[in-house]
Amino acid sequence: MTDDTKRGKGADGAPVAVVTGASRGIGAGLASYFASQGLRLGLCARTEPTSPAGADAVTAVVDVGDAAAVDRFADEVVDRFGRIDLWVNNAGVLEPVGPLADADPAALERHVATNILGVMHGTAAFARHVRGRAGEGSLVNISSGAAATPYRGWAAYCASKAAVEMVTEVVGLEEAASGLLAYSVSPGVVDTDMQALTRATPADVFPDVGRFLRLHEEGAFLTPDWVGECILERCLDPATRWRPVAGQGLVHFRVPDGPTTG
């Protein structure tokens, strides 16, 4: 799918995608894949992302827990490219890991600030942008199987991803008339620094670590390129993108099995 028209190209050029948490992991992988497909990029993270080779990109240091900083970044991307077509709220943290009763309250607050408020701030900024310009816009909030599956030791992470699901659905309903299409995407298991941290966590802190150790042994991790391909096909390409059914605010999907690192 390299045809610019299929990618949603407008009169002002190739589509523009924002990716938060783009300095490493899935976010960096999405940035690289989107660039390979000709998209223009807005990339932010707490550490300034590296622009993929040859990409037309705006990069910035942004704490997504700071609503004003997120708004400024959105304005910077629009000033550069004229519009944003795809916004991916990817920034997230795993910690604290362990029984909730033992968690540091400050660590819980930091988790909520990134994983829930960060998604809310990015979602709100993009919704306001879509309201103010012609055409549809695709919001992708990165979720997880942990939104619906309880993992001992992941109370904060499971709760935050469940919150992401509901935020996405509510905003999809609220903004449908303005052309916002809302997607919550569970990317499956991708071998990132977060996965390495998970595998390194002792079983007495994270009793379900064995599942992730087995996936690593089997080489069953999905690739970031495959996640990116699925997002562009199902969420951005006007010819193939999925749409919420009547009365529902979002499309939720798990990235299907595909190319792995094994």
Give me the active site residues, please. Answer: 157
Q: Please, which residues have CB within 8 angstroms of residue 142's CB and are 6 or more apart in sequence?
A: 26, 88, 89, 90, 92, 164, 184, 185, 186, 187
Q: Please, which residues have CB within 8 angstroms of residue 188's CB and are 6 or more apart in sequence?
A: 145, 222, 227, 254, 255, 257
